[in-house]
Structure 1
Amino acid sequence: MIGNDIIDLQFALSESIVLQQRRLDKICTVAEQRYIRESENPWQTFWLIWTRKEACYKAFQRLHYIHSFCPHQIENQIDTSGMLLPLILFRNKKFFARTTMNQVKIDTVCASSQALLTDITTVSDLKEILQLTDFKKDNNGIPYLQARNIKQQFPVSKSSHGAYKAYALFKADIANLDATALIYA
């Protein structure tokens, strides 16, 4: 399904322990640790890996609810030349990630297929969308948007960190909401 994560890099500066070996062993696979150590900016690369794991976990949650986050079981795929691939494996399931990164934040979205990944968009504010929907969570705490005029739910993934917030949703769902608004206007 769909998941996302965002990291405010300025806010993350307070997390100085992220590169301690004990912490890396709990969170990262051996290949991910090597990728982090060999990168130009290990600290930022750690957060890149982290956002991909968190986004993958959220996408997995929608398909197979699990109560605990187990980042060591989420494996970012790295090719033989040392390039981070869009593919992530978690409990024998494939997920695909797309990350945007700049000097202030890292924003990752993840989906259970490449086709779904291309249909995901992120927004920092749901103000316009909330005119047509209500933001709700199911019994497991997984968020969704409930359309007001029709009995339809739309998956949404929410992430916030420091000064940044991001909602990931499907472009097709936004178009469907826009069409619904026209029908019931």
Structure 2
Amino acid sequence: MIGNDVVDLLLAQKESNWKRKGFLNKLFTSLEQELIQKAPNQEEMVWMLWSIKESVYKAYQRFDYNEGFYPIKIKILKLNEQNESIIQLFGTFFYGKTTIDKDFIKTIVLLNKSDFSRIHYLKTSEYTKNENGLPIDVISEKPISVSHHGRIKEIVGFQN
């Protein structure tokens, strides 16, 4: 299972006020809020953690589809200096890798850490959706993950 997310940092800065009352408590666990408070760039940390949570949600939908979104239940257990993460949702563990650039943050999350070597970035937007509205590649009919925010769009799947 694969999930991805992108955050256009310029758009997030313009459209979102993560410092407003209650925002952090609604989305992040106490451990995650501690990571934000200790980060040299708190805004970047907020959007990295958000990107990880969004990616987990997308991956989880592939094997237990449900329409609810519950960011506080998605728990980031470990985040290292290389922006690799271990996350848990409803007893299932996920592994994430996040890339941070001056303009964007991108995260990919997988069930199996060894599958990172199989990641494939699709250059085409030729995809359709399955019965649950989840994206699949038109050609291979395999599950993919699509994310777009502002100027950034990423479509990822697995190579054979």
What's the TM-score once normalised by structure 2's chain length?
Answer: 0.91
SS at match of 1:26: helix
- Structure 1: which 5+ runs fail to align? 173-185
Deviation at 1:78, TM superposition (A): 2.9
Secondary structure (helix, strand or coil) at the match of 2:17 reads: helix
- Residue 25 of structure 1 aligns with which residue? 25
Structure ranking higher in helix proportion: 1
Q: Answer yes or no: is the 8 Å Cα contact 1:19–1:43 preserved in 2.
A: no
Once superposed, what is the RMSD of the aligned Cα atoms? 2.0
Paired position in structure 2 for 1:162: 150
Deviation at 1:136, TM superposition (A): 1.0
Q: Does 1:136 align with 2:128?
A: yes
Amino acid across the alignment from 1:27: L
| Contact 1:77–1:85 under 8 Å retained in 2 | no
For 1:2 and 1:25, locate their aligned partners in 2 and report how far apart those are by CA, in whole Å: 27
Higher Rg of the two aligned structures: 1
Q: Once the two structures are superposed, what CA deviation does each residue of 1:63-121 show, in whole Å capped at 9, x if it has no partner?
A: 10010111000011137x99965211011000010111110110101111102233223
2:142 is paired with a residue whose SS is strand
- Displacement of 1:143: 0.5
Given that 2:88 and 2:94 are in contact with CA atoms closer than 8 Å, whether structure 1 keeps it comes out as yes
Map Cα deviations across residues 13-71 of structure 1 (whole Å, 9 max, x no partner).
12342133401111000000000011001111000000000001100000100101110
CA distance in 1, matches of 2:131, 2:21: 36
Q: What is the TM-score normalised by the length of structure 1?
A: 0.80
What residue identity is the alignment partner of 2:56?
C
The unaligned stretches of length 5 or more in structure 2 are none
Please give the alpha-carbon distance, in whole angstroms, between the structure 2 residues aligned to 1:35 and 1:94. Answer: 20
